[in-house]
Amino acid sequence: MRDSFNITGLGGERKLKGEIRVGGAKNHALKLFAASVLCETPLTLENVPAIEDIERMTEIIEKLGGAVVRETDQVRIDTKKMSTGEIDRDTAKKMRASIVLTGPLLARFGATSFPHPGGDVIGERPIDFFIEGFEKMGATVEVTEQEYKLVAKNGLKGADIFFRWISVTATETLMMAAALAKGQTTLRNVAMEPEVVDLAEFLVSAGAQIKGIGTPTLIIEGGAMLRPIKPHAVLPDRIETGSFLILGALAATDLRITHCEPEHVRMLIELLLRSGVEIKVERDTLHIKNAADCVRRAMTLKTHEYPGFPTDLQAPMMVYLTQANGESRVFETVFEGRLAYTEDLVRMGADITLWNPHQASVKGPTPLRSATLESPDIRAGLAFLIAALIATGTSTLENVYHIDRGYAQIEERFRKLGADIKRVSK
Ligand code: EPU
């Protein structure tokens, strides 16, 4: 279903007010679902977000023979009866994150496959690190017209792997594969995002041997299948937290963001404080209070691996910068092509110059006006929703499936703050 949103903007006024609760992190829950393949006893997860990407992951695991039972935000996954490593190609094509399943499946079943990823709206996203890593661990890779077929008949073996570029999903995938491989695997120059660190800690709690967690080098001693001993909670979504902070800075008089982990959005908090936003940081709550006449300052923003500024908040932050005083510069260093959405903000009245696929400058503040927009990906989709909420007039945001992929019932949650958003189902 291609639903759309009709959004009546606040015309630059700050009017939203209230409390919003942060859900579980998409990019953590998906990896914990994949880790269930490594477990010989059922895995129970808590704080699992009710989003489309989790639905897709559930479908894939069920098609592989796993049993997934959901009760509110708790999910129990039992993969004991799983008998194949063949991921459903159509679903995998729709959701690149399903690639994290290849590690656990190859390690457990000795074979798996994955469709060609191709380019997507945030640019070319190669999978060479996965392929090279699996080859080093003893797998053979056959490339067919449709997919990559990976085979490790006698199981995977430990290897020493250096990532030429820091990659979140490649780190997670090879770390999970190494947990069941024979011997020791060393992964160097790994991602250190909170979701990666917590995934490693979960694996250890279920019996894996991993040293160096939270550092750039992970040493994994392969062993038997895992046995989770207690339910594991999905981390609060730091991208939701950050997006709500940005919305609050732009459009709220008084906003409390609850059930979050402020330390995970420290970089954004520092930047917003420096720009002139008043934020009170409590244990698991962030509180924004806006004076009616507050003025925001421009800044230089560079996306970076954690704890740097997350690329997934670059688009919402761009909207913020359209309202900041002066000229801001934005460097997208993680993905090529993740600034393409700025064209639509320009149509809304933003003064953004795209210098090259990695670099933009923004002059502000410029009032934004309504437009008909189409959500290109999860994060730019949410940025458009924020832009429409501060614009004058009524905007239409099409293809909100991309927003539903990553944010649960966002329109209802924003409506409770006073936003005027209607979902139109086609
Ligand atoms: N890269 C390669 N070869 C590979 C893998 C990655 O060259 O084999 C490059 C990428 O092209 C990119 C860089 O490495 O230039 C870093 O990308 P990374 O692999 O870290 O991204 P990812 O693991 O595919 C995850 C999140 C993204 C998030 C990035 C960066 C998941 C499921 N996805 O992607 O989230 O933007 O890390 O933090 O965890 C989203 O949720 O909307 C999203 C895109």
* Whole-number CA gyration radius for the chain: 22
Is 423 a residue whose pLDDT tops 90? Answer: yes
126 lines ligand 1 (CB under 6 A): yes
Closest CA to 259 of 31, 45, 46, 33: 46
- Average the pLDDT over 183-200 and give the result: 98
27 lines ligand 1 (CB under 6 A): yes
Say if 4-23+236-424 and 26-233 have the same CATH topology: yes
Q: How far is the CA of 24 from the centre of ligand 1 (A)?
A: 19
Cα 375 from Cα 372, distance rounded (Å):
10
Q: Supply the pTM of this predicted model.
A: 0.97
Of all protein residues, whose CA lies closest to atom 28 belonging to ligand 1?
312
- How do beta strands 351-356 and 359-364 pair? antiparallel
Determine the residue of 101, 128, 167, 265 to mutate for testing ligand 1's pocket, defined as the one with the most ligand atoms within 8 A of the Cβ atom. Answer: 167
Pick the CATH number of 4-23+236-424 from 3.65.10.10, 3.40.50.300, 3.40.50.620, 3.90.226.10: 3.65.10.10
165 lines ligand 1 (CB under 6 A): yes
pLDDT tens track for 333-365: 999 889 999 999 999 999 999 999 999 999 999
Q: Enumerate the domain spans of the chain.
A: 4-23+236-424, 26-233
Q: How far is the CA of 334 from the centre of ligand 1 (A)?
A: 8
Is 387 a residue whose pLDDT tops 60? Answer: yes
The pLDDT of residue 293 is 78
Centroid of chain to Cα 197: 15
pLDDT tens track for 123-158: 567 889 999 999 999 999 998 888 899 999 999 999
Contact predicate 179/206, CB 8 Å? no
The pLDDT of residue 119 is 43
pLDDT tens track for 240-263: 999 999 999 999 999 999 999 999
pLDDT tens track for 47-82: 999 999 999 999 999 999 999 999 999 999 999 999
Residue 171, number of CB atoms within 10 A of its CB? 26
Give the domain 26-233 fold. UDP-n-acetylglucosamine1-carboxyvinyl-transferase; Chain (3.65.10)
The pLDDT of residue 116 is 79
How many percent of the chain have pLDDT more than 70?
Answer: 98
334 lines ligand 1 (CB under 6 A): yes
Of all protein residues, whose CA lies closest to atom 5 belonging to ligand 1?
127
Cα 129 from Cα 352, distance rounded (Å):
34
Q: How far is the CA of 96 from the centre of ligand 1 (A)?
A: 10
Cα 129 from Cα 140, distance rounded (Å):
14
- Average the pLDDT over 15-42 and give the result: 98
**Residue 201: what are its φ and ψ, rounded to 5°?**
-65, -35
Cα 290 from Cα 248, distance rounded (Å):
8
pLDDT tens track for 264-278: 999 999 999 999 999
3-state secondary structure of 306: coil
